Structure 1
Amino acid sequence: MTVETEPTDRVAFAAEWEQWHAQKDEALAGPHGFLAITSLNWLDATPTRFPDAPGAWSSTPDGVLVELSEDEELAYEGRVLHGRHNFGVLAERVSLLPVAGDAVIEVAKRGGHDIVRPRHPENTLRLAFSGTPAYAPDPAWALTGRYVPFDTPRPTTVGAVVEGLEHVYDAVGTVEFEAGGAPYRLTAFDGHTPGGLLVLFTDATSGVTTYAANRSLSIAAPDADGTVLVDFNRATNLPCAYTDLATCPLPPAENRLPLAIEAGERTPTAPAGAAPRSVPAA
């Protein structure tokens, strides 16, 4: 049986969850959020033009280069760029965001490869978005867990939704919890907030009511004794659940849970007329 962290005011719990979920969807569908992406372009040494971005782009040992024609420009870090510009060698998972008119031209490195990924507010996928379906928030899925850190971070290679691509993350420890009377353990990576953790996982709902490839869960920094709140109500889809133009990581093998976590976000509803989303093999 799942165990609540403490007696919970269900009305307040649901209201807080609704606010969080609305903010999450708002960011996803923002003018330059993931739903605004119009193409995913892998750079090489040959300067190449793309129909949804100004300039000819290439990847060189000295960094990502763009060559703008006389009638093209980009705005970046308070400057207007003309002609040839070197964005430098990018670190993994870094994104630069130069602006072209009402669009943002994301320049990034994913899986060791330089990419250009334009984001246009008028993208049909963004305009058609009507929100992410989710299970009703249930305090019974807000579980008390325990964080067990590794002595040193362990570089961990995981697959990606893009065939042949791999990501390497530092696993910092494991999160242990109990559900249905059984113990479970998840490998955790560094999170997006100081001391926070990030878990990628699948479960028995994956491919049934939730997106098949992955979901993610952010966990706040552990207490001094390692106690953490594992609130599966806040299990979210990664961008790849909405668009094939993402490079999301897959969970490590040990994070494929056998139980059905009927909490958090469900499989997004595709806009009318949209092609089915692709799902990578496990």
Structure 2
Amino acid sequence: MTTEATTADLHAFTEQWLEWYREQEARLSAPHGFLAITGLHWLDDRPQRFGDAPGTWHTGPDGVVVTLDDGEELVVDGKPVSGEHRFGVLPERGGVDAIWKDAVIEVAKRGGQDIVRPRHPDAPLRTAFTGTPAYAPDPQWAVTGRYIPFEEPRPTTVGAVVEGLEHVYDAPGRIEFELDGHRLSLTAFPGAGQGRLSVLFTDATAGVTTYTASRTLSVEAPAADGTVVLDFNRATNLPCAYTDLATCPLPPAENRLAVAIEAGQKLPRERGGS
């Protein structure tokens, strides 16, 4: 390969990474993205009011219920609702977005518990956001590995950044790869999209240049022979890296790598990064 070809390849690689980076930042800082969250409210059978959402909220065996005062209104599934509205029983990791003025009121279930999580475009965390630091993209961190499916998906319980909360995922398999002479393996979870995988991990940079609790990596569907590419340049912060108003899962123990992966997103400035 000529130097000219190498330079062109690196330029293309960098441009593709920049496009990915901009998409990540746009999603994070969108008017109702995670930086717009103003509260994380845990529901139980006691009626509760919150300063950043309309109505009185509670939950029980029949699911989440909000009672709106006179003059208060939400838009749910495109329809205005007033008075008492029942959201019903929500699926784990599922939820409903209800519109209130210029805000979105997220009603969701995390770790078996119902929550209300309002998102306001004028949230200080969002309006002050200046971007996420990241390592410069480098093709050496795009590593080829092999996906090994389990005979049956393995229910895997992991902790969360919220004390006492747990998440359960069905792990379909693991990914084996080599990095700097180390033979490594990561348990994979289902990703967003047909056949795609998702990996939660930490490495030796955690708590130093990257967020302590976890980063995540999206992996394209494996090839017929199990080949996958782990492009750690695209290692992404979870919302909990920016805000305490998140319920992010932690990596399983086997995904806490002892090697330093100096690639991908770094510790956000909101957490003291630079």
TM-score category, normalised to shorter length: over 0.9
For residues 122 and 78 of structure 2, the distance between their equivalents in structure 1, rounded to whole angstroms, comes to 24
The residue matched to 1:38 in structure 2 has which SS?
A: coil
Instruction: Give aligned-pair identity as a percent.
Output: 64
Distance (Å, rounded) in 1 between the aligned partners of 2:131 and 2:250: 23
1:106 aligned onto 2:106: yes
- Please report how far the alpha carbon of residue 142 of structure 1 lies from its aligned counterpart in structure 2 after TM superposition: 0.3
Report the Cα offset of residue 24 of structure 1.
0.4
- State the partner residue of 1:167: 167
Look up the match of 1:196.
Answer: 196
What is the CA–CA distance in structure 1 between the aligned matches of 2:253 and 2:143, rounded to whole Å?
22
- For residue 228 of structure 1, what is the aligned residue in structure 2? 228
SS at match of 1:133: coil
Deviations 1:138-158 (A, max 9, x none): 000001110000111111000
Residue 101 of structure 1: CA displacement? Answer: 0.2
Could you say which residue in structure 2 is the equivalent of 1:280? Answer: none
Question: What is the CA–CA distance in structure 1 between the aligned matches of 2:193 and 2:131, rounded to whole Å?
Answer: 25
Map residues 90-239 of structure 1 onto 2, 5 A cutoff. Answer: 90-239=90-239
Gaps of 5+ in 2: 1-5
How far residue 258 of structure 1 moved from its aligned partner, in angstroms, is 0.5
Aligned-residue offset at 1:181: 1.3
Runs of 4 or more above 4 Å deviation: none
Aligned partners of 1:138, 1:34: CA distance in 2, in Å?
A: 28
| Residues 26-67 of structure 1: CA deviation (Å, up to 9, x unaligned) | 000000000000000000001110000001010110010000
d(CA) in 1 for partners of 2:96, 2:27? 18
Aligned-pair CA distance for 1:235 = 0.3
TM-score normalised to structure 2 length: 0.96
Secondary structure of the residue aligned to 1:9 is helix
> Over aligned residues, Cα RMSD in angstroms?
1.0
Tell me whether 1:264 sits opposite 2:264 in the alignment.
yes
1:238: Cα distance to partner?
0.2
Counterpart for residue 273 of structure 1: none
2:133 & 2:139 partners in 1: Cα distance? 18
- In 1, Cα distance between the equivalents of 2:193 and 2:129? 28
Amino acid in structure 1 at the alignment position of 2:129:
F
Cα deviation, residue 208, structure 1:
0.4
CA distance in 2, matches of 1:154, 1:137: 34
| Structure 2 Cα separation of the partners of residues 94 and 257 of structure 1 | 30
Q: Distance in 2 between matches of 1:78 and 1:90?
A: 18
Letter of the 2:74 counterpart: L
The corresponding residue for 1:32 is: 32
- 5+ residue gaps, structure 1, are 1-6, 271-275, 278-282
Report the counterpart of residue 79 of structure 1 in structure 2. Answer: 79
Residue 169 of structure 1: CA displacement? 0.6
SS at match of 1:24: helix
Alignment of 1:232-247 (within 5 A): 232-247=232-247
Matched, 1:15 2:5: no
2:46 paired with 1:46: yes
Q: What is the CA distance between 1:78 and its match in structure 2?
A: 1.8
Equivalent residue, structure 1, for 2:248:
248
Q: CA deviation at 1:71?
A: 1.0
What does the per-residue CA deviation read over 1:125-149, in whole Å, with 9 as the maximum and x for residues that have no partner? 0001111100000000001110000
How many residue pairs get aligned? The number is 266
Q: Distance in 2 between matches of 1:63 and 1:227?
A: 43
* Structure 1: distance between partners of 2:95 and 2:19: 28
State the shift of 1:261 in Å.
Answer: 0.1
